[in-house]
Amino acid sequence: MTTNTQTRLIDDLNSLHAYYVSAINTAVDADDQRAINELAAGYDREAAQMVAEREGKTHLLPLKPRAA
């Protein structure tokens, strides 16, 4: 019998999102636009990294913006 102790990706993403929502709300309450911007970018980076690692796609990082 094997036991899978790894958490589900969706659960980890939800936890990450909840952390960033709380941190961004704190920055909004403090009217700290710099922190808001840094936190939003940090969430994007961490979420992309998490998904890439779980899906074996780290060779695609860093993500590049699409052309307009």
DSSP annotation string for 7-53: PPHHHHHHHHHHHHHHHHHHHHHTT-HHHHHHHHHHHHHHHHHHHHH
What are the boundaries of each domain within the chain?
9-56
Confirm if 28 and 36 have CB atoms less than 8 A apart. Answer: yes
Over the stretch 11-68, which tens digit does the pLDDT of each residue have?
999 999 999 999 999 999 999 999 999 999 999 999 999 999 999 999 999 988 888 7
